Chain A
Amino acid sequence: MAHGPAKGIKRWLFTTNHKDIGTLYLWFSFAMFLVGGLFAMIIRAELFQPGMQLVTPEFFNQMTTMHGLVMVFGAIMPAFVGLANWMIPLMIGAPDMALPRMNNLSFWILPFAFLILVATLFMEGGGPNFGWTFYAPLSTTYAPDSVNYFIFAIHLMGASSIMGAINIIATVLNMRAPGMTLMKMPLFVWTWLITAFLLLAVMPVLAGAVTMMLMDINFGTSFFDAAGGGDPVLFQHIFWFFGHPEVYIIILPAFGVISAIIPTFSRKPLFGYSSMVYATAAIAFLSFIVWAHHMFTVGMPLAGELYFMYATMLIAVPTGVKVFNWITTMFRGAISFETPMLFAIAFVILFTIGGFTGLMLAIAPSDIQYHDSYFVVAHFHYVMVAGAVFSGTAAVYYWLPKWCGRMYNETMGKLHFWIAFIGFNIAFFPQHFLGLAGMPRRYADYALQFADWNMVSSIGAFIYGAAQILFLYNVIATIVAGKPVKEAKVWEGAEGLEWTVPTPAPYHTFATPPAVK
């Protein structure tokens, strides 16, 4: 059992070790983050000034579509699966994931899926240009020929996610060390357990949606085609039945990370542990019954509008519980502001802003005005970038010393934080103004009155983009030449089993289960 890793490339191709696979996921995710970031830079460069400068409108549409797809399915989701692989066995005292071979498969599917997806950009007729939400009939009747490759790529990603979710559930339910009861599990494990169930419930719905598209395009069915008795609005219902839980798939593990970091650097246990667990479960449940808040303008009957409006607002309650608990954890704590904590605090503030704009959008009569404007773009970048991405960044700084036995440079980490924080806000705060003033999303050009804030937003986006180069540099510099750390407990305020194994974490841990008090 206690052999080390294999040598060379074979280690990575055939590995079934949860730490190796976690590392693979994290590097893959970062690579996709840079690819998706490149697409974003092209978008913002084109929008720097009114008029058409750099790209054709057709290519611009491909960029907005691919940016969204790559960031959601390639960068954010794999990042948290990578963290789950690395940390869940360490946190629950398990020697590995429950299904190590399937783990290898679910990772290695991903590079192929994204190779196919990105390759569509070079095909005749171009890549997907119908938005990351791929509404029919844009994605069926009017789709470029490459749409079949897009569908295949989505199927692959879905299969990978489903396998990953099954693995996580099996690990958490069957592999805990004796004494690690469910209500003793760290919140990161809890949020992932619930997320895995969400994934299992809705990734097949996404697969169903693209399968129906495939049938409509190639086999003459008309699920989404009014000419044959179908209905394009049905597509939106099915997509958002997947899509809204999907946004919580993205954010729940991020909540878990923040719930680990804030207590460590406040030197206090997490306030309201069990209410956090229940709030997570409540959010997950509610996420299934609010999907049509993305569709207030399709012409729902009044009763539908009202129901989806109030149900959506209800989500703010458990979300508020979480924010309250984080703040109360910090209250009167002996706080120190290391890089992970800075990102975590920024998360709490900026995610809350995103939650509030979400509430504004949940008000059906005002959403009819804001829908498909830059206000929506600002909303979801506050929750997905300042939410999920900041949380992922915080997690890397927090656990990197444990992973590689070396400490990052605190000054460089803080520099990264401040550039990212300022760049992010310059990029996305003005988009609220643009949206309220009426600028629609997903166009390659805009009216002159929007010029100033677009230029500001583009400058902020370039700053935020540059910050990621610094991030990459920091991580590599730490792995190669960081100051060695020896203590098992890298952060003095940290609690949990992952801090009881030696630093750097050995290739095999918990071959004999630890004792849990």
Chain B
Amino acid sequence: MADRSTARLVARLLGLAAAMFLFAVFVMPPLYDVFCEVTGIGGKTGGAARVRDAGVDQSRTIEVQFVATNNGAMPWEFGPRQVELRVHPGEPTRALYYARNPTDRPMVAQAIPSVTPASAARYFNKTECFCFNRQPLGPGEEAELPLVFVVDPELPSAIRTITLSYTLFDVTERSPDLVAKVAAGAAAR
């Protein structure tokens, strides 16, 4: 019954289905990330930025607010050292967060940044950030978490306040390498 032309048609249709599956798994997620990055939506601030030296715009002052949240049942103490900073666009500025692991086991955390308003995200450049790496802490250990950022002078003039928020996620389970390192460090001490 299944003659040659039917067999060829079925092969093509199966190919279409397979292509759509691959599209969903391998194309849509990266495409989504690229789209968010290009448009700056989602409030994601991206990785380390190379800052072009456009000079400091002394005429404007931007209020940068710092917020911290723990995701789900993350037990760490986590917060900003300063509630807000007033900065000029183009001026590299250093800010600090702190974290403490109050539990009796080594843990690893990942901070995910987000900027509000979302339209400011593409003008908020971090040259250095604790969020670029996962952060391991042994039992009872604490750490100062630095970041350095520059607000792009191109920031739309309507924006006067930027809120930078970090959500701290527990990634201990998916970071056995770092857990082992912290545990070894604690044992040596």
Interface string of B29-57 (1 = CB under 8 A from A): 10011001001011000000000000000
Please name all residues of chain A whose beta carbon is closer than 8 Å to the beta carbon of B32 when the two chains form the complex: 231, 234, 237
Interface set, chain B 6-28, CB cutoff 8 A to A:
6, 9-10, 13-14, 16-25, 28
Q: Is the Cβ of A200 less than 8 Å from the Cβ of B24?
A: no
Known: A226-B112, A227-B71, A228-B110. A173 touches B24 (CB 8 A): no
Please name all residues of chain B whose beta carbon is closer than 8 Å to the beta carbon of A202 when the two chains form the complex: 20
Q: Is the Cβ of B39 less than 8 Å from the Cβ of A205?
A: no
Q: Which residue of B lies closest to A229 (CB)?
A: B112
B94 CB, nearest partner CB in chain A, Å: 25
Among candidates A98, A203, A301, residue contacting B6 with C-beta atoms closer than 8 Å: A98
- Asked whether B1 is an interface residue with its Cβ less than 8 Å from the other chain, the reply is yes
Q: Is the Cβ of A166 less than 8 Å from the Cβ of B10?
A: yes
Interface set, chain A 195-230, CB cutoff 8 A to B:
200-205, 207-209, 211-212, 220, 222-223, 226-230
Known: A200-B16, A207-B21. A237 touches B28 (CB 8 A): yes
Interface size of B by CB at 8 A reads 39
Q: Is the Cβ of B112 less than 8 Å from the Cβ of A169?
A: no
Known: A227-B110, A301-B118. A205 touches B21 (CB 8 A): yes
Q: Is the Cβ of A212 less than 8 Å from the Cβ of B25?
A: yes
Please name all residues of chain A whose beta carbon is closer than 8 Å to the beta carbon of B71 when the two chains form the complex: 226-227
Q: Is the Cβ of B169 less than 8 Å from the Cβ of A201?
A: no
B31 CB, nearest partner CB in chain A, Å: 10
- Asked whether B170 is an interface residue with its Cβ less than 8 Å from the other chain, the reply is yes
Could you tell me the dominant secondary structure of chain B's interface residues?
A: helix
Q: Is the Cβ of B9 less than 8 Å from the Cβ of A169?
A: yes
Q: Is the Cβ of A228 less than 8 Å from the Cβ of B174?
A: yes
Among candidates B9, B21, B24, residue contacting A170 with C-beta atoms closer than 8 Å: B9
Q: Which residue of B lies closest to A159 (CB)?
A: B17
Could you tell me the dominant secondary structure of chain A's interface residues?
A: helix
Known: A231-B32, A233-B42. A204 touches B13 (CB 8 A): no
Please name all residues of chain B whose beta carbon is closer than 8 Å to the beta carbon of A237 when the two chains form the complex: 28, 32
- Asked whether B101 is an interface residue with its Cβ less than 8 Å from the other chain, the reply is no
Known: A98-B6, A200-B16, A301-B118. A226 touches B169 (CB 8 A): yes
Q: Is the Cβ of A173 less than 8 Å from the Cβ of B9?
A: yes
Known: A166-B14, A231-B32. A299 touches B6 (CB 8 A): no
B160 CB, nearest partner CB in chain A, Å: 20
Within the assembled complex, what's the spacing in Å between the Cα atoms of A204 and B36? 24
Task: Using C-beta atoms within 8 Å of the partner chain, give the interface range for chain A.
Answer: 35 or more
Q: Is the Cβ of B41 less than 8 Å from the Cβ of A300?
A: yes
Interface set, chain A 157-187, CB cutoff 8 A to B:
162, 165-166, 169-170, 173-174
Q: Which residue of B lies closest to A205 (CB)?
A: B24
- Asked whether B187 is an interface residue with its Cβ less than 8 Å from the other chain, the reply is no
Please name all residues of chain A whose beta carbon is closer than 8 Å to the beta carbon of B42 when the two chains form the complex: 231, 233, 299
Q: Is the Cβ of B6 less than 8 Å from the Cβ of A220?
A: no
- Asked whether B157 is an interface residue with its Cβ less than 8 Å from the other chain, the reply is no
- Asked whether A116 is an interface residue with its Cβ less than 8 Å from the other chain, the reply is no
Within the assembled complex, what's the spacing in Å between the Cα atoms of A212 and B32? 15
Interface set, chain B 78-126, CB cutoff 8 A to A:
110, 112, 118-119
Q: Which residue of A lies closest to B71 (CB)?
A: A227
- Asked whether B133 is an interface residue with its Cβ less than 8 Å from the other chain, the reply is no
Known: A99-B2, A174-B6, A227-B112. A162 touches B17 (CB 8 A): yes
Q: Is the Cβ of B24 less than 8 Å from the Cβ of A204?
A: yes
B10 CB, nearest partner CB in chain A, Å: 6
Other A-B pairs beyond A99-B2, A300-B41, 14, CB < 8 Å: A99-B10, A170-B9, A200-B20, A204-B23, A205-B20, A211-B21, A227-B110, A227-B112, A227-B171, A228-B169, A230-B29, A231-B33, A299-B41, A301-B119
Q: Sample 28 A-B pairs with CB under 8 A, ordered by A number.
A: A96-B1, A99-B1, A99-B10, A100-B1, A141-B72, A166-B13, A170-B6, A173-B9, A200-B13, A201-B20, A202-B20, A204-B17, A204-B21, A205-B23, A205-B24, A207-B24, A208-B24, A212-B24, A212-B25, A223-B29, A227-B112, A229-B112, A234-B32, A237-B28, A238-B24, A299-B41, A299-B42, A301-B118
